[in-house]
Amino acid sequence: MFIYNRNNPEDMGKSETILELARKKELDFEWVKEVAKAEGVEAEKLIRLIAKGEVIIPRNVRRVSSNPDLKPKPIGRLVSTKVNANVGTSADYINVEEEVEKAIVAEKAGADFIMDLSTGGRLDEIRRRIMKAINVPFGTVPIYQAAREAKVVVDMSEDDFFRVVEKQAKDGVDFMTIHAGVNWVSVERLLKSNRLLGVVSRGGAITIGWMIHNEKENPYYENFDYLLELMKEYDVAISLGDAFRPGCIHDASDRAKFMEFIMLGELVERCREAGVQAMVEGPGHVPIDEIETSVKAMKYVCRNAPLYLLGPLVTDIAAGYDHIAAAIGGAVAGMYGADLICYVTPSEHLALPTVEDVREGVIAAKIAAHAADLVKEGQRERARARDYEMSLARKNFDWKKQFELSIDPEKAERIWSRRRSKSEACSMCGDLCAIKIVKEALEKARK
């Protein structure tokens, strides 16, 4: 068996991918055991899920070689629900130092993945700076850079679509969002729809605009096999982008979205045949009673590929609080099978987020992920054990333990400290604390 030498980038292209090694039961078992232990899953079971494509571990071979501290994060069935945080510049606001700080803060707050969505400034430099600053898997949307470098979006050549993918793969990007489900069949379905906001996916809009102007098929769809060759060379995971995700409640669960589901399902099968790890991205704005249908439909059509959702946001009117609207949707989606939740910040729909917005977005998404794990197969017992420990700490007024178990320990302790009670309880109730009164009464009655 050949396993690439992590310290020798020249071995790239010769090694087999994680998916291929899992199918042959030749993955480094000690490495898998470490990953499985962190998730509370049996290593043998995890290997079987990876071999089926129901769990993926995004990990570019070049990044592994350059960063031995990289923390592998599995996404999919039986493992914990993960959180992704997006950072990146815009054409209107370019501050590289701030974007690096956002990435560091996001990781510290508990983000399992970081994506760079930069569209302004020196994109290669920004991407490399952010990637170097973090130890969690890192993703991008290559078409953003291709569009920026072309100056005029519709002037991109077909080679431009792939040139950027290869450049970013060589840099060590672990997973990439590729809007390959956009083709003439799905575009025609969109044209016949009565959508209010049309396409809100930036990558999807760029692709559709290019197709219509040039009267050509989407290069990522037409030359999907070549795309997979590039991905396989560096063992980059592909995140099949949801170009037709609804951007408002009015557009939720329409035919254009479901048409793309079908296309993505077909592409998942091609990824697996090629030995490339794949996950699927899902809808943005969905009323709470339609989330189950969306999630289960995507899981079924895409053969249980890991599902990566933006939210979904359950209302359109939460401007300034969209991180809460998204957390509500994320918890419900996770309950029905979503595997990776993309955070939303309070700045969504309004502005480029600040560092504090990023932190708030990650915390909200982590709450949603944990809420999902409380009912998720394979995670229920572990997640509920943490809640039990918190309840026990509250019963015993063990404030230090409560802070440790909190998703945001620093904020919990800060709030407790600013109005600290004279009693052992919190200052909400003080000596009239219900837990304290009943605990003392029961102890007396049992004597």
Q: What is the CATH number of the domain that holds 284?
A: 3.20.20.540
Same domain, 131 and 265: yes
What pLDDT, on a 0 to 100 scale, did the predictor assign at position 67?
A: 87
pLDDT in tens, 361-375: 999 999 999 999 999
What pLDDT, on a 0 to 100 scale, did the predictor assign at position 65?
A: 85
C-alpha closest to that of 254 among 332, 335, 200, 192: 192
What pLDDT, on a 0 to 100 scale, did the predictor assign at position 6?
A: 35
Q: Which two tokens stand for residue 278?
A: 């794949």
What is the C-alpha separation between 157 and 360, in angstroms, rounded?
40
At 400, the amino acid letter reads K
Task: Judge whether 41 lies within some domain.
Answer: no
Same domain, 424 and 310: no
Task: Judge whether 34 lies within some domain.
Answer: no
Q: Which residues of the chain have pLDDT under 50?
A: 1-9, 12
Name the residue range of residue 112's domain: 75-378
Task: Judge whether 388 lies within some domain.
Answer: yes
Q: Domain count for the chain, please give it.
A: 2
DSSP 78-144: TSPPEEEEEE---SS---HHHHHHHHHHHHHHT-SEEEE---SS-HHHHHHHHHHH--S-EEE-HHH
Domain boundary among 378, 397, 419: 378
Angle, alpha carbons 331-337-341 (nearest 5°)? 50
In three-state secondary structure terms, 239 is: strand
Same domain, 430 and 350: no
Task: Judge whether 157 lies within some domain.
Answer: yes
Same domain, 167 and 255: yes
Same domain, 394 and 360: no
What pLDDT, on a 0 to 100 scale, did the predictor assign at position 170?
A: 97
Same domain, 392 and 368: no
Q: What is the pTM of this model?
A: 0.94
What pLDDT, on a 0 to 100 scale, did the predictor assign at position 422?
A: 87
Task: Judge whether 64 lies within some domain.
Answer: no
Same domain, 368 and 247: yes
Task: Judge whether 58 lies within some domain.
Answer: no
Domain boundary among 378, 406, 432: 378
At 30, the amino acid letter reads E
Task: Judge whether 35 lies within some domain.
Answer: no
Same domain, 347 and 433: no
What pLDDT, on a 0 to 100 scale, did the predictor assign at position 14?
A: 56
Same domain, 180 and 279: yes
